[in-house]
Amino acid sequence: MEKANSELSMENYCIMQENERLRKKAELLNQENQTLLYQLKQRLSTKAAAGSSSAAAKPSKK
């Protein structure tokens, strides 16, 4: 019984270590996603501003 408890405790410890490793990896991926999303929004807003300013510069055809 004591051996089984010891083995289960070791298995539980390994699972907790793996969970912590995965949690840290998930946090890094989340930070990377947030950065990429920010960059994408910046590019889209820059293109939108460039598009609206070039449209405003062109005279409308009537």
1-51 pLDDT tens trace? 999 999 999 999 999 999 999 999 999 999 999 999 999 999 999 999 998
- Whole-structure pTM value: 0.67
Cα(46)–Cα(41) distance, rounded to whole angstroms?
8
Residue written as token pair 């070791």: 10
Please give the pLDDT value at position 39. 98
| pLDDT recorded at residue 55 | 66
Q: What is the pLDDT of residue 37?
A: 98
Sign of CA dihedral 39, 42, 44, 46: negative
> Can you give the pLDDT at residue 60?
60
Write out the two tokens for 54: 């070039």
